[in-house]
Amino acid sequence: MKRILLLGAGRSASSLIQYLLHHAATEDWHLRIGDISVAHLQPLTDALTYADLLVFDVHNERQRAEEVAQADLVISMLPAAFHAEVARECLQKSKHLITASYVSPAIRELHEEARQKGLTFIMESGLDPGIDHMSAMAVIERIKAAGGQITSFKSYTGGLVAPESDTNPWRYKFTWNPRNVVLAGQGTAKYIKNGTYTYIPYHQLFRRTDALEVAGYGAFEGYVNRDSLSYRELYGLRDIPTMLRGTLRRPGYCTAWDTFVQLGLTDDSYTLEGSQHMTHRSFIAAFLPPATTTNQSIPERLSAYLHLPVDGEVIKKLAWLGLFDETPVALPDATPAQVLEQILKAKWTLAPGDKDMIVMQHLFEYELSGEKHTVTSALVATGDDEVHTAMAKTVGLPVGILARLLLQGKIKQQGVVVPVYPDLYAPVLEELKQYGIDFVEKDSRVGE
């Protein structure tokens, strides 16, 4: 029997848990699921002999050591900040590890020791990062095998709402950690276009967007992720003239979100004095210059400060969120980002029956036999409801598939591994098709 320790049972783990439970009996697994709260999983596991639950605290060194020591494979779906602690424990206890998160510098340092111990630490195995790597590499390797030279690669991913649940003026609802949405994009975005390096500071990020179209789903806009340059090495495209990775939103979102950035509402570096006594209205007012007239309203002050039409779409989006209302904040010692997160959660949480939607689009340009070609590879996946979301499926299922391959002895790479190798991504992409997670590709000659 193989023992799997799954740490983290939050929103993005629902489909992963279902996958592991579905295969546990036939694969001869025992699944142990740990998190701060696991009561919501009792209906799933109470009648199963091959699964159990535990209340788990990643900071409890003794508990962490004991649980990891009993496992053959540890899957961490904890917040990314805790992966390094888990990885070091896995290294000490000689256990394999899989996570959906980016390879951090702290985990990258473990590569050589893990390799020497014959361990496999698979990182970046969810949606983005994860399916984005796998699907991109499938196209890249196919073009290279045909003798083509890739000259441009742009990739965009968005977690959005399905058209039938697209019911608010922002055309957005939370499908993953709200805090990460509020803090997204901070830092300087870096990419290369037509051989020229480009850098976009955070305060300009949401003002410089690209317009995109996804067949059957209409218009989107994309803003650049923080570092697109590092992926040239990972994808074997060191000399590519254009390399850009970005995030998708519906048109109009970025212009409205830029208001928060310009006001400083996404800042998480300091606490607000007396935040527990604030209202939404006084919170916004605290970031605005003084009124120029006695009767100047908060929307008018905001409009004048950021040069926005007072009756325009941005002000209407902010009003819909309740930012100008006297709703109490009631958060002591909160940062601006924490207050904003609370305001957004009240309006952007998926309602019962809501469906989310994942949209991913890769755009390639390549040359073959003196002719220029383009390839569009697009994925659209829709959730079942507000619990079994497309985000949970696309994050959790590839993690589960890789766990199954690893425990079957089919993954030979050792050390810290990202799934950019055919023997990793090919079976994952093939099995994902069974769950409706499949890419539609179009390859065209330029000029046709």
Q: How confident is the model at residue 256 (pLDDT cuts 50, 70, 90)?
A: very high
Number of other residues whose CB lies within 10 A of the CB of residue 378: 20
DSSP class per residue in 67-129: HHHT-SEEEE-S-GGGHHHHHHHHHHHT-EEEESS---HHHHTTHHHHHHTT-EEE-S-BBTT
Looking at this protein, which amino acid is placed at residue 413?
Q
Largest CA distance in the chain: 75
pLDDT at residue 447 above 70?
no
pLDDT (tens digit per residue) in 330-346: 999 999 999 999 999 99
Q: Where are the domains of the chain?
A: 2-123, 131-256+352-389+437-445, 271-334
The whole-number pLDDT of residue 214 equals 93
The length of the chain is 448
pLDDT at residue 362 above 90?
yes
The whole-number pLDDT of residue 444 equals 85
**Predicted model pTM:** 0.92
Give mean pLDDT, residues 2-31: 93
CATH 3.30.360.10 given to domain 131-256+352-389+437-445: yes
Token pair belonging to 226: 């923080």
The whole-number pLDDT of residue 448 equals 58
Hey, what CATH topology would domain 2-123 get? Rossmann fold (3.40.50)
Number of other residues whose CB lies within 10 A of the CB of residue 180: 12
- Distance from C-alpha of 348 to C-alpha of 196, rounded to nearest angstrom: 38
Torsional class of 12: left (φ above 0), alpha (ψ -120 to 50), beta (otherwise): alpha
pLDDT (tens digit per residue) in 29-50: 999 999 998 888 888 888 889 9
Give me the half-sphere count of Cα atoms (radius 13 Å) on the Cβ side of residue 238.
1
CA proximity to 263, closest of 334, 189, 339: 339
pLDDT (tens digit per residue) in 51-97: 999 999 989 999 999 999 999 999 999 988 899 999 999 999 999 99
Element (H, E) at 237: none
- Distance from C-alpha of 89 to C-alpha of 71, rounded to nearest angstrom: 11
pLDDT (tens digit per residue) in 197-249: 999 999 999 999 999 999 899 999 999 988 999 999 999 999 999 999 999 99
Token pair belonging to 312: 């325009």
Give mean pLDDT, residues 239-265: 97
DSSP class per residue in 16-77: HHHHHHHHHHHHTEEEEEEES--GGGHHHHTT-TTEEEEE--TT-HHHHHHHHHT-SEEEE-
- Distance from C-alpha of 323 to C-alpha of 284, rounded to nearest angstrom: 7
pLDDT (tens digit per residue) in 274-326: 999 999 999 999 999 998 888 899 999 999 999 999 999 999 999 999 999 99
- Distance from C-alpha of 136 to C-alpha of 146, rounded to nearest angstrom: 16
DSSP class per residue in 150-167: EEEEEEEEEEEE-GGG--
Percent of the chain with pLDDT over 90: 89
**Contact residues for 448 (Cβ-Cβ < 8 A; gap 6+):** none
- Distance from C-alpha of 350 to C-alpha of 341, rounded to nearest angstrom: 15
Please say whether the beta carbons of 188 and 226 come within 8 A.
Answer: yes
CA proximity to 37, closest of 17, 74, 9: 9
- Distance from C-alpha of 406 to C-alpha of 72, rounded to nearest angstrom: 10
pLDDT (tens digit per residue) in 108-156: 999 999 999 999 999 999 999 999 999 999 999 999 999 999 999 999 9
Number of other residues whose CB lies within 10 A of the CB of residue 408: 10
Number of other residues whose CB lies within 10 A of the CB of residue 179: 15
Please say whether the beta carbons of 109 and 38 come within 8 A.
Answer: no
pLDDT (tens digit per residue) in 366-387: 999 999 999 999 999 999 999 8
Please say whether the beta carbons of 149 and 372 come within 8 A.
Answer: no
DSSP class per residue in 333-388: T--HHHHHHHHHHHHHBPPTT--EEEEEEEEEEEEETTEEEEEEEEEEEE-SSSSS
